[in-house]
Structure 1
């Protein structure tokens, strides 16, 4: 597993430039580039990068290169990334959370009405 390459792919998927990540990490773009070329990345640094590119550390570590397709079309990037996690479960989880928040909001509004 090449952690640096996984970081690079996920960063590109988000449309974030190396320079932007480097600035947030308070380092030069050249030093950050070395991280993306490294097979292993320190867990603390990986956590900071994961927060910046908004992907869980586990996803960065477990990204399976055989399940990643990168298609470059006329200067724009279209990435299809298939995760080992079931996306339907994530959608259901989000939907249930939104329903709960809606119910809580209705309850608060009904109390305020009385």
Structure 2
């Protein structure tokens, strides 16, 4: 039998873990959102199949469709997240924003301004003495 064409069993718990990690959400945070303990979330992530009620709560907390957890293979999970992030829905952050300045330049500018203020303060204090 050719294993490449055989349908792969979806591991729903592993999909939850991958989605959670790719979204940058810790188990503790997901547990808080679900109203369960961190150990319970860990148990969910170990199970191959989960109840529909649990899947609905988790999908709502992660803001992903239930089908993403239920049906996605390992490869499809990665593809879904790439599509999800490309759509600029990333927790309200516009991922299409292109910075028009170099942040390092701003740090240098701030540092130079602080040095100037320090020199002025030293000058004022030395005049008072």
TM-score > 0.5, shorter chain as reference: yes
2:63 corresponds to which of 43, 54, 59: 54
Q: Counting strand residues as a fraction of each chain, which structure ranks higher?
A: 1
Query: What is the distance in 2 between the residues matched to 1:21 and 1:66?
Result: 23
TM-score by length of 1: 0.59
2:42 corresponds to which of 33, 43, 57: 33
Query: What is the distance in 2 between the residues matched to 1:26 and 1:15?
Result: 19
Q: How many residues align?
A: 75
Query: What is the distance in 2 between the residues matched to 1:9 and 1:36?
Result: 9
Query: Any stretches of 5+ residues in structure 2 without a counterpart?
Result: 1-9, 88-129
Q: CA deviation at 1:5?
A: 0.1
The root-mean-square deviation of aligned C-alpha atoms, in Å, is 2.2
Q: What residue number does 2:79 align with? A: 82
TM-score by length of 2: 0.52
1:40 alignment partner, SS class:
coil
Poorly superposed stretches of 4+, deviation over 3 Å: none
Q: Which has the larger radius of gyration?
A: 2
